[in-house]
Amino acid sequence: MSYGPTNQLLNSLPRGELAHLRPLLKPILLVPNAVLQRAGEESDRVIFPCGGMISSLATMRDGNSVEIGGVGHQGAVGLASVLGPLSHPFELVSTIGGPAMCVSGSELRGVIQGTPVLRYYLRAFTVAVLALVGQRAACIAWHSVEARCAAKLLAARDCTGSDVLPLTQEVIAHLLGVRRPGITTVARALQCAGLITQARGRITIMDPYGLEQVACECIQTRREIYSHLPWRVARPRRGGADAARQHSIVR
């Protein structure tokens, strides 16, 4: 199953605001497992994935790391650069490759005052990301590797809109911050239960509902947080003025 490459945030903008933003958007291709930005580097780029998934990784001094957030076609990464060129505290990696749209933070700052719905959407998504980071910290502390692995696969499915995930056990172990043998054991158990199948460099979700029964509560929390994003609750009308009235909070 595939929903097609698109970005929900951009696709839900009023036609007039999207017309202001479109000339600034540049199409890029996210290369699988490519480092988009290293921790501590200054960033002036906002990326709207249209497919694939971008992960934010917290890395320790010994080189070990864990994913603290993953964004797909539901939103954007690099939103802090709208405030100005800032150093990013985490490493950004395109865990799953795919198409995306990119705009510089400085250019986005130039149009954001005249695009109130876009401004509201970016603020709302930033709040959602912060909520998910907090949830991820609790998840790492309290949930089993099996439950976290199942939730990660479902989150990747939500990010990409596809049941076929170009993920290896090594990448999943890296994202979860656990050893590879532990993921091998979990993946084998999930496959024996008929929930997934594995091929070289690829995991296919065969039974999403069954996988949800194994996953920790965090996948539902993630979906609930995303379901309250303004473009998910009520899609705006295509006219800019009408949409701005619907979201009067931005004024």
φ, ψ of residue 168 in degrees (nearest 5) = -105, 165
Residues contacting residue 200 through CB under 8 Å, at least 6 positions apart: none
User: Which tokens in the block code for residue 120?
Assistant: 């509201």
Lowest-confidence region among 70-84, 195-209, 236-250: 236-250
Note whether 96 and 52 are within 8 A (CB). yes
pLDDT at 208: 97
Q: List domains and CATH numbers for the chain.
A: 8-238 (2.60.120.10)
Cα distances (angstroms) measured from residue 126 to each of 63, 69, 75, 82, 201 = 27, 12, 9, 11, 32
More confident call, 140 vs 89: 140
- In percent, the amount of the chain with pLDDT more than 70 equals 91
Q: Read off the pLDDT of residues 37-82 as tens digits, 9 standing for 90 and up.
A: 998 888 889 999 999 999 999 988 888 899 999 999 999 999 988 8
**pTM more than 0.85:** yes
Selected residue with higher pLDDT from 218 and 1: 218
How far, in Å, CA of 208 to CA of 226, rounded? 18
Tokens standing for 105?
């933070």
- Predicted pLDDT of residue 3: 39
Per the prediction, the chain carries an average pLDDT of: 89
